[in-house]
Structure 1
Amino acid sequence: MTKLQPLANHYGSDVSADVPTAPDGVVSLHGRDAAIWEQAAPLLAVRDNDAHTLYAYALAQSFLAAHPEADPAVVGPAILLHDIGWSQVPPDEVLSAISPSGGRPDLVLLHEREGRRLAEGILAGVGYDADRSARILQIIDGHDSRREALDIDDAIVKDADKTWRLSPHGLDTVMDWFGLDRDHALRLCSARVHGHLFTDEARATARALAGLESANLWPQRRALLEP
């Protein structure tokens, strides 16, 4: 659980009035994308895909800041809708699609095709721009199986999706997916992320996340947690 409230105030005074209201780097989910999220969320309640999608969306927003040539109106909906197709795969078969011991490419393709179909209905239902909808659907249908990025929008979606694996939530999730301790999960996710990203921003972020998680495993850090 993410810590949202302090356990103490060692300084002793209230400094909340001195905190900037809109600093660079803090992103949000609102407006057009929030409306799409409301439609997508019920279809994402599979293997923690709902939380994964929110974290991936936040990563995508961060990467967008470095790419003014990218279209946020394509990237945002595409990342929010990219995994809704897993709702059409039997729950007990979902993890077999991405298992370290093999994988089921047929299920990966199925979730992409079904994701495109479901996303088409959602985008039409909210009256989304037709040209952008077509680009969003193209990104969804191939976001995992397609090895190359179609354009910068597709690259950002792919990178945000993969980089999540090295986030604290990503590692927590992968640990429970496959019964791995944190060391094994970090090594598995690193192998599946580094060398498979398209943008410099994602590569730097992935390296930083993996470095921070490495420190969590050092005996020196573990010793600080001992009573």
Structure 2
Amino acid sequence: MTKLEPGANHYGHDVSSKIGSAGPSLFEQYPLLAELWEDAKELLGVRSNDAHTLYSVSVAHQLLGHYPQADSHVVLPAMLLHDIGWSAVDSDLVLSAIAPGAGNAELVLQHEKEGARLARQILVGHGVAAEDIERILYIIDGHDSRKESTSIEDSLVKDADKLWRLTGHGLDTIMDWFGLTRMQAFTLVESRVCGHLFTEPAQCMAAGFIAVERANMLAQRLALEER
């Protein structure tokens, strides 16, 4: 659970008026994303894809700041809708598609194809330009199976998708998918992310996530929680 309110004020004085105000949220900046989310969230209720998607969209938005030439109107909708196709795959088989030592390429392809089909319906319903729709669908239909990148937009979606795995939420989720300890999940994720990112900012972000998680698992850090 995300901590939103303080548990104490050790300083004893109110400093809130000195820090300014927060900017608009991502969905406030891109109203279309909020609309797409309402249509997509029920389709994302498979293996925590709803939360995964929100983290990945935020990461993609951060990466976009390094690439002004990239089209945010393609990257962000593609990111929001990239995994809706898992809703069309037998829920009992979803994890077998990506499990260590297993994997099922046909199921991966199925979720991409179904995702593109469902995304077209959603995007058309929101009046998205036909040219943008085709670019978005091309990214969705290949975001996992296509190992090479075909554009900067494709790269950013692929990178943001992978980077989620290194977040605290990603590791928590993957631990429970496969019954792994945190160290086992981290080892698995690191091997599947590092060396597979297309952009330098994503590589830097991955290094930051890795540093934080390694600190989390230090024996000295864990001992602090026992005091």
Secondary structure of 1:68's counterpart equals coil
1:163-190 Cα offsets, whole Å, 9 max, x none, are 0000000000000000001000100000
Per-residue deviation at 1:27? 5.3
Per-residue deviation at 1:220? 1.0
Distance 2:175 2:81 in 1: 24
Aligned to 1:215: 215
Q: How does 1:139-178 map to 2 (within 5 A)?
A: 139-178=139-178
The answer to whether residue 181 in structure 2 is matched with residue 181 in structure 1 is yes
Per-residue deviation at 1:21? 2.1
Q: How does 1:33-182 map to 2 (within 5 A)?
A: 33-182=33-182
1:32-52 Cα offsets, whole Å, 9 max, x none, are 111111111110000100000
Per-residue deviation at 1:93? 0.4
Distance 1:223 1:117 in 2: 50
Match of 1:219, as an amino acid? A
Aligned to 1:8: 8
Q: Any unmatched runs of 5+ in structure 2?
A: none
1:83-134 Cα offsets, whole Å, 9 max, x none, are 0000001111000000011100000000000000000000000111111111
Secondary structure of 2:26's counterpart equals coil
Distance 1:126 1:167 in 2: 31
Per-residue deviation at 1:20? 2.6
Distance 1:29 1:20 in 2: 21
Per-residue deviation at 1:75? 0.5
1:57-83 Cα offsets, whole Å, 9 max, x none, are 000000000100100000010000000
> With structure 1 as the length reference, what TM-score do the two structures score?
0.97
Secondary structure of 2:27's counterpart equals coil
Match of 1:104, as an amino acid? N
Aligned length: 225
Distance 2:154 2:26 in 1: 21
Aligned to 1:29: 27
CA contact (8 A) 1:112 1:143 kept: yes
Secondary structure of 1:29's counterpart equals helix
Distance 1:51 1:206 in 2: 19
Per-residue deviation at 1:3? 1.0
Secondary structure of 1:93's counterpart equals coil
Secondary structure of 2:150's counterpart equals coil
Distance 1:62 1:148 in 2: 22
Secondary structure of 1:114's counterpart equals helix
> With structure 2 as the length reference, what TM-score do the two structures score?
0.97
